[in-house]
Structure 1
Amino acid sequence: MEQEFKQGYRIHRILSNLNRLDVDRLNDADRERVETARDLLEEVSLLTQSDDGVEADAHADS
């Protein structure tokens, strides 16, 4: 459970940092990279949450 919490926290922190960037001051290539990273992290965040909004384990146990 602690691992899932850490992963969710890291995703949240990275998204927060990306959202705080002043993308208007970036060049077009960097702006595109930030938008792509933001979109991918939001997808991962949605995939790792269960229907009730609680972080779920996205990794298969081996």
Structure 2
Amino acid sequence: MDQQFKQGYRMHRVLSNLNRLDVDRLDEADRERVENARDLLEEVSLLTRPGDGAGADAHADS
């Protein structure tokens, strides 16, 4: 399994696990941490997703 695939799979698994949490049972600080983690993982996922052209555009602008 290539390294990029492994990293993408791990990000997907972490995001899936965060989405399964019952955040209603967490205190406010933990809910905020979960929300921040979800946002960051979704942002990274969008930036690293192959084949959508986003990565190519980002490199072309640099």
What TM-score results when the alignment is normalised by the length of structure 1? 0.79
More helix by share: 2
Identity level (%): 81
Query: In the alignment, what sits opposite 1:26?
Result: 26
- In angstroms, what is the RMSD of aligned CA positions? 1.4
Give the paired residue count: 52
Distance 1:40 1:24 in 2: 21
Higher relative contact order (Cα pairs below 8 Å, separated by 6+ residues) = 1
Instruction: Classify the secondary structure of the residue corresponding to 1:17.
Output: helix
5+ residue gaps in structure 2? 54-62
Deviating runs (4+, > 3 A) in structure 1? none
Distance 2:49 2:21 in 1: 26
Query: In the alignment, what sits opposite 1:57?
Result: none
Return the letter of the residue paired with 1:10.
R
Query: Offset at 1:49?
Result: 1.0
5+ residue gaps in structure 1? 53-62
